[in-house]
Structures are given as structure tokens and as C-alpha cells.
Structure 1
Amino acid sequence: MQLKEHYTNLWNNALSKFEANAFEFDTLIDSVKDHRFGVTLVAKPSGNVKKNIHQMLLDLRAIEPGQYYYPTPDIHVTVLSIISCYNGFKLASIHARDYIAIIKKSLHGITSFPVFFEGITASPSCIMVQGFAGNEIENLRNNLRSNFKNTDLESSIDKRYQIHTAHATVIRFRHALQQPQKFVERLKYYRNFHFGVTEVQEVSFVFNDWYQRHLDEHVLATFSLPLYL
């Protein structure tokens, strides 16, 4: 299935739920007892892309202020989840330097790559900005899969699902919406909105919670990608 078709299918399924006021709510997003953590390789959108996303979030927040809107520094694209978040995972239980070495090895031959942020899609529980990237991100993912498979390091790559998208989750639903119809109509405005293009020139290995909060505070290593010539 092509990526655009995949995003469209997600949108159509979520929209039918939204229009029936059948949103799904995250009961753990404000819980102090949520101890799900993991480690992930991420890429950050450019300042201009984040500015455009931020403006959309301000617009939507004005209609539904009670939902969870990702802070600008936390907006990211998941390159690959190395250890998917689970309850009780602690950074001290792994040797981060061993993971960094495998990531460095996997980056051999990988150059910078563009991500085109075009429109939004959704699930019943969240809103995502659609990202479209070329073969380079898939080459990196496949390198990581292969190299981690050949180690005895803890990992859970592809255990939940095999990632092929380059989306950025930007809103999660906390509780019942006050103006669902108005909110959904405004979402439709952004369905094909052009947020901009990012040339990904670095990726970061981070220790993260389920929601990827405070990412800039939990960077374990950052890797520069040579410019594609």
C-alpha cells in the first residue's frame, strides 16, 4: 500500500468516528503513575515547519483548549523505536554506549533526506501531520533492524508494528470535546495544508516516555548526516 493511501485510509476511518462523536481518550496522559519508558531514534522538523504546525495547534486549541497539544520542542518524527515504551523500563538497565555504537554503524552510507509535511491524518485518539520521506529513511530503518537483530542487546523493534510512515503526532484527546463539530470542521481545513519541507541533517537517540515529552532534555546522542549531493 502506498503511503498516501495509508494516510487517507487512516483519515477516513478516524473522520467517521469523529463525526459520530466517537473520539477515543487517553486515560494515562495526565497520570503520575504512568511509568512507560523506552529509547527511540527521532528526527526533528525544521523551525519553519514547526512554526506552521504551532499555528495550526493554536487555531485548534482556541476551539478545544482541554486536549493535549504537543509543545513545539517535542514535535518529532520517529525514525525507529529501539525499545518501545513499557512500564518500568529504566535507562540504567541498558548500556547506552552499546546502542550508540550500533546506531553509528547503521548510519554508514546514509545521507541527509527531505521530509515533506503535507496535510494531516488521524486516528480516533490523535491527530498527526503527514510526513513523506524517500528511500533513505527506509534504508536507515532496515540497517537498524539488521544490526540490532545481530546483537543480544534488548530491543523490541517492530514488535508493535513495522513503521513505514514519517508522521508527527501533534494532538491527543484527553476527554470529551466541548465543540466536536466545530473542531472537526476546522480539522478538515488542514487536511491538505502545506506545512513545509525539512531536510533532515541529524537524528537523535533519546530516552523517552510514551508521549515523547521534554525530548530536548533526554537526548543520549545526536548524529549528523552528510548532505546529499
Structure 2
Amino acid sequence: MQAIYDQMWNSFVCAMDEGNYVLDPWLNKLAEDDRRGITALAYLEPHNSSLTSNIGEFLRCVRALEPDQYYHPLRELHITVLSIISCVSGFTLNDIDSQAYVDIFLDVVKQHQQPIEIEFRGITASPSCLLLQGFTKDNTLDELRRNLRLAYQASGLRTSIDSRYKIVTAHSSCVRFCRPLRNPQSLLALCQQWRTTYFGSLNVSEIELVFNNWYQNLSITQVLAKQSIFK
């Protein structure tokens, strides 16, 4: 995972140096954004208050430099287990048999008998956002993802799994750029200070299947199913 995070970091450094960072236009008109999808995910906040407290301190430092950007609320921070249907404009639950997706999700997650432990250590970034680096201690998250992939792909149901990229990390996006940065070099210097900071660990105890928008806003998210896993 570190190699992937390092590659992202290098692209961020270049973007800050050259001023070619990327702004998300939808964040300034969220009410018009009708992109929706289906995702299996796990939230950070319910599991470890010290973890989210440490993350909150980092976000406060960034906000002091760049108050105009989009900051994911702490209670919305999550790791994506698998994107079943990537967000697309106009998609609604009426377009699918949502119970069929729930049945597969529950069947796979119920069979998962290994704990998933994730350590959040340091931050990385891309030209468009800042992310928390998550590291799994073993291959249990990979196994759950593989089993979900296989089950949904064999079902014949509508999916777009891995259509954007094959998710292999355990990152959590926390800041997105939506307005011109006030001082890219100061932001880069701050991020460098937090590059290897230990935030805490997460013992995932529950996975959710949700109908969501691009940013996983809880005001829009509809929970389709929840399933506890081995702890």
C-alpha cells in the first residue's frame, strides 16, 4: 500500500509546485448533484474516538490555512470496502432490485470470520484531495473485497465494480479542493509535517451497504443493510 500512497504523494507535490491542482466543481453546487451509487463501507467514528480526535486536529490545522475547501465531517469519514455501483447521474433505487443486493451483501459478510484491523498512519494526497493513509495488518480486507466481487459479478446484477480503479488501499478521504488554494506551498509544508503521523487504529466491527452520493453525505445516504463481523 505504501508504494501507492507514495505515488499519490508525488503527484500532489508536483501539483502544489506547479499550481495544477484540481478543483471539484460539484462541491459548490451540491444541490444539483444527482450522482448516486451503491457502496459497502465502514465508518471510522463509531469505533474509536481517539482516532477521530487526532484526525480532527489535523483537519483544524489544514482549515486554518485553507478555510475555503471541503472538509468531510468526522462522522462521515469512512473506508470504502467496495463500490458496487459507482455514482452516476440519475441513478435511483427504482432502477434495481435493492433486496437482491442486500441478500448478497449479507450472505458474504456473515461468512467473514476474521477481524479487520486498520492502522491510520500518516497522510497522502492527490492533486484534488487529502487522504488518510490506512494500512491493514493482514489480508482480511482483501479477502472480504474478493468475496464480494465474486458474489456480485456471478449474480448477473448490475454492477460497475472496479470500473474506475481496483480498490486495494484502506484510505479515507478527508479534504477536497473546491476553491483556489490560498497558499499551495504552505499547505504542502503542513502536510509534510503530518506525513507519517500516527492517528490511531480501527477494529472494524460493522460493514454497511448504502445508497449514496459521491461524497457519502449522511444527509443523503440511505442504509440498505448493516452486518456485524467477527471482533
Shorter-chain TM range is over 0.9
Structure 2 match to 1:142: 146
Query: Partner letter of residue 187 of structure 2?
Result: F
Structure 1 match to 2:127: 124
- 2:224 pairs with one of 203, 206, 220: 220
With the length of structure 2 as denominator, give the TM-score of the two structures: 0.93
Structure with a larger share of its residues in helix: 2
Q: Report how far residue 92 of structure 1 moved.
A: 2.3
| Unaligned ranges ≥5, structure 1 | none
Q: Report how far residue 217 of structure 1 moved.
A: 5.0
Structure-1 separation of matches of 2:143 and 2:113: 8
Q: What per-residue deviation string (whole Å, max 9, x for no partner) do you get for residues 94-129 of structure 1?
A: 222211110122121332210010101111000000
> Do structure 1's residue 185 and structure 2's residue 171 form an aligned pair?
no
Structure-2 separation of matches of 1:204 and 1:171: 23
> Do structure 1's residue 109 and structure 2's residue 109 form an aligned pair?
no
In terms of mean alpha carbon deviation, does 14-23 or 214-223 score higher? 214-223
Structure 2 match to 1:10: 8
Query: Partner letter of residue 59 of structure 1?
Result: C
Structure 2 match to 1:33: 32
Task: Determine helix, strand or coil for the equivalent of 1:144.
Answer: helix
Distance change (3 Å), C-alpha of 1:135 and 1:12: same
Task: Determine helix, strand or coil for the equivalent of 1:198.
Answer: strand
**How do 1:81-92 and structure 2 match up within 5 A?**
81-92=83-94
Q: 1:41, 1:79 within 8 Å by CA — same for their partners in 2?
A: yes
Task: Determine helix, strand or coil for the equivalent of 1:59.
Answer: helix
> Do structure 1's residue 61 and structure 2's residue 63 form an aligned pair?
yes
Structure-2 separation of matches of 1:109 and 1:72: 27
Structure-2 separation of matches of 1:17 and 1:217: 32
Q: 2:116, 2:140 within 8 Å by CA — same for their partners in 1?
A: yes
CA RMSD of aligned residues (A): 1.4
Structure 1 match to 2:164: 160
Structure 2 match to 1:173: 177
Q: Report how far residue 44 of structure 1 moved.
A: 1.5
Task: Determine helix, strand or coil for the equivalent of 1:28.
Answer: helix
Query: Partner letter of residue 41 of structure 1?
Result: A
> Do structure 1's residue 20 and structure 2's residue 22 form an aligned pair?
no
Q: Report how far residue 13 of structure 1 moved.
A: 1.7
Structure-2 separation of matches of 1:102 and 1:81: 14
